[in-house]
Structure 1
Amino acid sequence: MAINAAVSSVNAATVGGHGDTGFPLIADGLPAAILVDPIADSAVRHAADNFSGDIERVCGRRPLRHADLKGARGRIVVIGVAGRCAAIDRLVAEGRIDVGDIVGEWEAFLQIVVDRPFPGVTEALVIVGADRRGAVFGTYDLSERIGVSPWHWFADVPVKRQANVSIPAGVRRDQPKVRYRGFFINDEDPCFSGWAKKAFGGVNAAVYAHVFELLLRMKGNYLWPAMWAPKAFAADDPNSMILADQMGVVMGSSHHEVMMRAQDEWHRDTKSGVTGGAWDYSTNARNLRTFWRGGIERMTSKPSGTYESVVTIGMRGDGDEAMAEGTATGLLEQVVADQRAIIADVTGKPAAETPQVWALYKEVQDYYDHGMKVPDDVTLLFADDNWGQIRRLPAPDAGRRPGGYGVYYHFDYVGVPRNYKWINTNQIEKIWQQMDLAYRRGADAMWIVNVGDIKPMEYPLGFFLAMAWNPDAFTPAVLADYPARWAEATFGPEHAAAIGTIVTAYSQYAARRKPELIDQDSFTIGDITPDGLDGGAFGAMVAEWDALEARMLAAKRALGADRQDAYYQLVEFPIAAMANLYRLYYATAWNRKLASRNDPRANAFADQVESTFQRDQDLTDRYHRIADGKWDGMMAQVHMNYVIWNDPTRQTMPSIVRVAGDTPEHRRRGGVSFVARTVSKSGVIAIEATAFSRLHHGAGLRWTAIPHLGRTKGAVLALPQGRPATTPADGICIDYNVDVAVAGPATLTLFLAPTLDTLGGAGVAIGASMNGGPVQTLRAELTATGGAQRTPGEKRWADAVRDNVVRLSTDMGHLAAGRHVLKIWRLDDNVVLQKLVLATAPVEPTYLGPVPATN
């Protein structure tokens, strides 16, 4: 599902049948043997064990294992690290393989077929890692190519049985472009935690064995563990830390948990006098230093070396809160200096030799913006606004620094303007646009994403880590093809196109507004007309969900029984649950509107509210029963009837009103669904951004259409991203021919995907002009602080993330009837245009679905 092999420009090899030229990994049901040196690193041995299991999943037989060449005969697979595997080193010494271009490279690997490499061995497939994770990734890469999804356990994706599998001859080389790539399990109560307790007795090493394997199969290497109180990764089950290192996972701690300490540890063992006091460095520095030293001492307690880690440094308030108001930059610089002194003292080597990261999250970014400095060997981890818009990045002309830059991104969040953690609402097109921007601006040292409970974020997480492996390979064409590639790898080639389009539509619809932000007042409703049509935006959205659910069920019927569990988790449940939620609130809106008129048809909608509320629970219960109850508890998140930013205490049905005088005829005529209609307004022209007339490129930039990005048919942006601002003199613009039917004063409204000024300026800018007139600058002045909306910029940000759109309007002067040419100008980077509305009559566009241009 990570489908790295499908997108990497250097990974062109394919898996073929027995008749193909290449190495017969499985021939007539018999697998090649596997050779792994008994003194190989434990991570290599873990991967080899899992690879043996993968071959058994494919052909039904587990391969023979060899510890050396003495008993090896016929066909073998050799897995090892260059310089640490006798068989591989022998081939290198004899000139049979060349490892020169991977030696010393981070996590690089080779896969190469060698004829008659050793006496008695007819052919060998050699997987060579430049280091231990290189060998691990080279092995799991092969697992994926033979049809074993990284999600075979975590989403029950079945493996197709094959009697013959051949690996093409030649050399395959690969390595990551981003150094640390991983995810953060967060906001994990009640779902991940409740599930783990039922299935494994708690969040322990038994759970993490599956998490680590999933991460490595997706070619990730870095993890921030679950941390909601009362969890502490290394303290709760020391075997978790040991197993991570044994499997090759680099452990870290979240943006506010520093020095390899879980925050909850501060509140334990308070009798010692060290922990539990004030989390304040100005008054309790000695105890804090003792506490932090304990984290580094634990990291270095490995019998032979250090548990591989990236140490988070700095300081936030206790419990992931901001530091006290007025905290001085100088004090925080002293915190970092003292932490690095502890690292150096405990490890016995310069602090710069221990990987460290400073997370510039929320208010911590303010310290950075005001000049706080950390040593150049520390990775600067920029963050998004918790809603998918990156807040700060290095300037286009910023030089390289040893520690580099990274990004902390969110698929899940607890905070303002409201929590969102029930279900996947992330568009891969948006992820691509933001992370491509980050990569082009030099953020390639670390990519880590908050995935909540892991499930149900399977689809965007697989995309994120596949892109992190090789951002250069993710061109717009590859992005467009990704959904079908994912569906093919998960459900088979015969269903790829249909399921890919279904998943894309779901992602777009779900991203319009997070479900926790939806209620009966979220969208407009029209009125019930004699022909049963509702002209409001809410009705149009419900109609789209109805149609999508029908397509989803049709695709389901074409799948075999072995794929039904995976389909329910990855496709059916998200679509059915979201469609049902829209129907519930839509029915609530009509119930209240009709009841306010004392119209008995309100009762039909009251019935529908009750039935959809029950169906929500039924869908959840079914999720918890699939795979013999394997995922019981994983979908327990409350997601209805939020009234403040935080969780309701329990799932409750919206209130309904019943009206006297109800009859069966009223119930029948009340209706349970409506067909959406588009209301045309004279004097209003709506144009999809991708429906341009002409493109004008320049300054090394080309306008590019990105289908499905945003709320409409797609968006346009200038590529490559990461370039400096331009002016109209550079001539980078888009022409839209518009035919005005009604003369009058014109207002232009541009609909943009929300983005932030990553240089810390006044907001990203775009230009507009009419008929060769002066260029007007429109600026998205959004201020993302993550706190209360006290300023106009913060209010605009809250509105933008709530609706997943930025609206910018300007007066274009009086327009006569007839043809006009509207030009949109590239001024700033990171501006994503979705739609344009030119009005010479009053208009209030609230729905941004696929509405055709009208006059």
Structure 2
Amino acid sequence: MKRIHLIILYLVLTLGFAPNQLFAGNIVWYNGKGHVTYSIQKKHASVVDKALDMFAADMKAVTGKKAEKGGDGIINIYQLDRSSNKDMQQLKELGVPFMNFITHDDAFWLGVRQKRIVIVGSNGRGTAYGILELSRLAGVSPWIWWGDVTPEHKSRLTLSDRYETMQSPSVAERGISLQGTQWSTLAWDHQQLDKHFRQDALGPRYYHQLFELMLRLRANTLYTGMPTSSKSHHHIKDDNEVADSFDINVINHPKGKFYSDDGYGYLQNMPASERQDGHDNGKLLYHLSYQGTPHDYLWLATTQPGLIYQSLRNCWDKDIRQQWIAVIHDPKVAAYPLSLFMDMAWNINATGPDALKKHLTEWLVQQFGQEAGEQLAKPMTKFYWLCGLRRPEFMGWNQTGLSEKEHGMDELPVQVSEFNAEQFGNELERFLNDYQEIETDINRVEASIPSRLQDAFFAAVKYPVCAAADMATKQLQAQEARTIGRKESFHHDDEALESAVRSWKAYQDIIRLTNYYNEKMADGKWNGLMNMAPRGLQVFLAPTFIDNLTTGELKKYDGYDGIDAPMDDDGCVVRNACDYTSASKNVSTIEMLGHSMKAVLLPEGASISFQFYAPEGNAALRTALIPTLPCKKEQLRYRVTLDSDTTFTYSLSEQGMSERWKVNVLRGQAIRTDDVRLSSGTHTLTIQALDDGIIVDQWMLDYDRDRQFYLFPVKPAI
């Protein structure tokens, strides 16, 4: 027994093994000494060399030393489509199940065999993905460069000797289309990367960094223009060698029919004549940013994860599986939505309708570590809820992209919002308080973020949360100041001045945050990337008041933080759809979708029912649905039945860019209203889908039928 203890002590001291590793069956592929080493078969694609360069840099970031090629490396790498007979024999001897994926494009297997880590790709891209999967296992985020996610330094890297994974893509072509880059990305590229490249195009250094990110996210396609787009800012045709070296498929002139959303994440129906062409119907174009009517969103990337999930899952179920392209204006700003999109394109089961909060948490943990990531999950979930109520870019309640013939301008002025401080316990102030609460939460977490991740935290969490909160405060408090104040008494009206100063301070804070993002974050690496006013739209401009504020007023009313505003339903009967009493068999809920944050998907014929008590009286029955569009038929209908004797049938179908469609996508809900008469007692409300694609969010009975308000007075299902 003494001899065994001595042997264990020798191994711990000389080879770097921890005692638990000896018995747990882990192999140590870095023990704090030397370099991580690998061997690779002689013939392989150039994209594998790119991945090895990235892996070498990753290992330096993790261990302090680059990975090196060595004949007896602990990591053995193979590319099946270029393997020799000798290579194939080695794989057979190692027991690698390569026949299970050899015919699958871009697939890889990574596992432990005979105390070595073996990576086998079906082709060059698959091999590259396998190499970078090992980087992920070492704690390297795909956003190491674009997100400044500096990995934790480690003196030991281990892997279970039973570990193995085989992965292949769900969607064959997984890609990105950059649109609207002239408002941010283009300026940054010419300041930081391609300083001497033509001014109207992104340069080769930019594409090199973009392709590295795409390789880490397992994307293999770049759209450089759209069939109906205006002048593209992609001129990569002169830099095809960059794309070729990363094995990126560059599509300069897309052809054929494809499915697309309406610009706001809601899939559009493809005409029946086009659906018959099965060859081209496997393509999807999906917007995570957009320029156009009724309003751009080119500042932040705030599409609700539940909407992304449902749209992609819907496409998959409809056999649209050949090509998925995400439209973005900048990958850094769209980090999480783009990650979710690519995760699902790679593995359609990467998340599910009841696992979206889990997916967000895992992404945050990947960036910021276990403790901070878990602490950030709740405030970031709440952030997507608030942005689902109204995107920051839409807080002006106006529209863009209007024709000059109609209005003589490309944009209407900022309008009065629908938020009403006099309704439901002051819904306006409560909206701002909810933002303030998540700001407080993330500031608390920020104190625990290590210095190496402060820049990553600012870009991915603090800037979007605080800037969105500031935008809401700027617009809504300016509205309050204009509503309360009068020209003759403005400078003597404490309430109006308090609101005006809050609005002005919020605007100044957006400027401060943006300046920090561009000039100080990561030592100026991203200078020019963050544009706080894309296209100079009016929602981004300084707030306007009845009169200018004086310096004395700015000082006197500084520090006012608003008022408490507990929710009051004012006698309404109101429910989130997920709080149903009974439901049909195939009904399912979708996390992080809608004002409720747990909307209910109804297949054709399915229904949900609610039992509730209501007093006698006349009321407005309002049903709020996710503003989906027809996906199979030309109609998208649902039926509402109250107590079996009152029935209403509604359609969500919209013709072109109708005014109601514009209101729907800006709000994130389609509301239908009818008057009903209620007797005192228990009632039953049933909502039934008459076509596929109905997603119910909320409903309410309001005895003030002419009430002017914005939000249903019910807490989200977070």
Q: TM-score, normalised by structure 1?
A: 0.73
Change (3 A) 1:671 1:417: same
Q: 1:674 aligns with which of 554, 563, 570?
A: 563
Contact 1:783–1:796 under 8 Å retained in 2: no
Q: 1:49 aligns with which of 37, 46, 53?
A: 53
Instruction: Name the SS for the 2:44 alignment partner.
Output: coil
Contact 2:208–2:242 under 8 Å retained in 1: yes
Contact 1:82–1:99 under 8 Å retained in 2: no
Change (3 A) 1:526 1:171: closer
For 1:523 and 1:145, how far apart are their aligned partners in 2?
Answer: 48
Q: Hey, what does 2:87 align to over in structure 1?
A: 88
CA displacement at 1:394 relative to structure 2: 8.8
For 1:593 and 1:473, how far apart are their aligned partners in 2?
Answer: 48
CA displacement at 1:806 relative to structure 2: 0.4
For 2:710 and 2:75, how far apart are their aligned partners in 1?
Answer: 60
CA displacement at 1:679 relative to structure 2: 3.6
CA displacement at 1:662 relative to structure 2: 12
Matched, 1:152 2:16: no
Change (3 A) 1:174 1:655: same
Matched, 1:498 2:361: no
Matched, 1:633 2:519: no
Q: What amino acid sits opposite 1:627 in the alignment?
A: A
Q: What amino acid sits opposite 2:576 in the alignment?
A: E
Q: Hey, what does 2:128 align to over in structure 1?
A: 136
Deviations 1:717-771 (A, max 9, x none): 13xxxx6x33xxxxx3212111012x12343211111110123513x11222123
Q: 2:617 aligns with which of 736, 740, 744?
A: 744
Change (3 A) 1:175 1:514: same
Deviations 1:783-825 (A, max 9, x none): 344xxxxxxxx111011011111001234x4321011111122
Change (3 A) 1:30 1:823: farther
Q: 1:802 aligns with which of 658, 662, 666?
A: 666
Q: What amino acid sits opposite 2:663 in the alignment?
A: D
Contact 2:356–2:592 under 8 Å retained in 1: no
Q: TM-score, normalised by structure 2?
A: 0.86
Q: Following superposition of structure 1 onto structure 2, how do residues 448-847 of structure 1 map, counting pairs within 5 Å?
A: 448-519=325-396, 521-526=416-421, 535-596=425-486, 598-599=489-490, 600=492, 601=494, 602-624=496-518, 625-638=520-533, 647-648=536-537, 652-658=541-547, 671-682=560-571, 684-697=572-585, 702-718=586-602, 725-726=604-605, 732-741=606-615, 743-759=616-632, 761-762=634-635, 764-773=636-645, 775-785=647-657, 794-811=658-675, 813-842=676-705, 844=707, 846-847=709-710
Q: Hey, what does 1:24 align to over in structure 2?
A: 28
Change (3 A) 1:847 1:416: same
Change (3 A) 1:231 1:179: same
Deviations 1:40-76 (A, max 9, x none): 210111112211222222222223303xxxxx23633
For 2:303 and 2:50, how far apart are their aligned partners in 1?
Answer: 33
Q: What amino acid sits opposite 1:739 in the alignment?
A: Y
Q: What amino acid sits opposite 2:627 in the alignment?
A: P
Deviations 1:565-609 (A, max 9, x none): 100000000011111111111221122123227242233433333
For 2:73 and 2:514, how far apart are their aligned partners in 1?
Answer: 51
For 1:398 and 1:650, how far apart are their aligned partners in 2?
Answer: 39
Superposed CA RMSD: 3.0
Change (3 A) 1:580 1:496: same
Percent identity between the two aligned chains = 22
Q: Hey, what does 2:409 align to over in structure 1?
A: none
For 2:626 and 2:455, how far apart are their aligned partners in 1?
Answer: 34
Q: What amino acid sits opposite 1:776 in the alignment?
A: F
Which sections of structure 2, spanning at least 5 residues, go unmatched? Answer: 1-18, 397-414
Q: Hey, what does 1:59 align to over in structure 2?
A: 63
Contact 2:574–2:713 under 8 Å retained in 1: no
CA displacement at 1:686 relative to structure 2: 0.9
Instruction: Name the SS for the 2:417 alignment partner.
Output: coil
Instruction: Name the SS for the 2:416 alignment partner.
Output: coil
Change (3 A) 1:805 1:651: closer
Aligned length: 663
Contact 1:525–1:535 under 8 Å retained in 2: no
Which sections of structure 1, spanning at least 5 residues, go unmatched? Answer: 1-15, 67-71, 116-122, 259-311, 314-357, 359-379, 528-532, 640-645, 727-731, 786-793
Q: Hey, what does 2:14 align to over in structure 1?
A: none
CA displacement at 1:400 relative to structure 2: 9.2
Deviations 1:650-709 (A, max 9, x none): 963122224999998995599552222334323x21111111112231xxxx22222331
Contact 1:778–1:808 under 8 Å retained in 2: yes
For 1:556 and 1:846, how far apart are their aligned partners in 2?
Answer: 35
Q: Hey, what does 2:412 align to over in structure 1?
A: none
For 2:287 and 2:248, how far apart are their aligned partners in 1?
Answer: 21
Change (3 A) 1:614 1:93: closer
CA displacement at 1:780 relative to structure 2: 1.3
Change (3 A) 1:589 1:173: same
Q: Which moved more, 1:74-83 or 1:579-588?
A: 74-83
Change (3 A) 1:571 1:666: closer
CA displacement at 1:478 relative to structure 2: 2.8
Contact 2:510–2:532 under 8 Å retained in 1: no
Change (3 A) 1:543 1:84: same
CA displacement at 1:392 relative to structure 2: 2.0
Matched, 1:233 2:235: yes
Contact 2:106–2:169 under 8 Å retained in 1: yes
CA displacement at 1:83 relative to structure 2: 4.1
Change (3 A) 1:650 1:667: closer
Q: Following superposition of structure 1 onto structure 2, how do residues 340-359 of structure 1 map, counting pairs within 5 Å?
A: 358=256
Q: Following superposition of structure 1 onto structure 2, how do residues 3-402 of structure 1 map, counting pairs within 5 Å?
A: 18-19=21-22, 20-66=24-70, 72-73=71-72, 75-84=74-83, 88-92=87-91, 94=93, 96-115=95-114, 123-168=115-160, 169-200=162-193, 201=195, 202=197, 203-225=202-224, 229=231, 231-235=233-237, 238=238, 240-253=239-252, 258=253, 312-313=254-255, 358=256, 380-392=257-269, 401-402=278-279
Change (3 A) 1:166 1:739: same
For 1:665 and 1:104, how far apart are their aligned partners in 2?
Answer: 68
Contact 1:37–1:80 under 8 Å retained in 2: yes
Change (3 A) 1:490 1:386: same
CA displacement at 1:113 relative to structure 2: 2.1
Contact 1:30–1:163 under 8 Å retained in 2: no
Q: Which moved more, 1:772-781 or 1:579-588?
A: 772-781
Instruction: Name the SS for the 1:737 alignment partner.
Output: strand
Q: Hey, what does 1:280 align to over in structure 2?
A: none
Q: What amino acid sits opposite 2:684 in the alignment?
A: V
Instruction: Name the SS for the 2:578 alignment partner.
Output: coil
For 2:393 and 2:296, how far apart are their aligned partners in 1?
Answer: 7
For 1:489 and 1:204, how far apart are their aligned partners in 2?
Answer: 30
Deviations 1:305-326 (A, max 9, x none): xxxxxxx23xxxxxxxxxxxxx
For 2:165 and 2:349, how far apart are their aligned partners in 1?
Answer: 18
Change (3 A) 1:94 1:481: closer
CA displacement at 1:840 relative to structure 2: 4.2
Change (3 A) 1:662 1:79: closer
Instruction: Name the SS for the 2:285 alignment partner.
Output: strand
For 2:223 and 2:118, how far apart are their aligned partners in 1?
Answer: 33
Q: Which runs of 4+ in 1 moved over 6 A?
A: 397-400, 659-666
Q: What amino acid sits opposite 1:505 in the alignment?
A: K
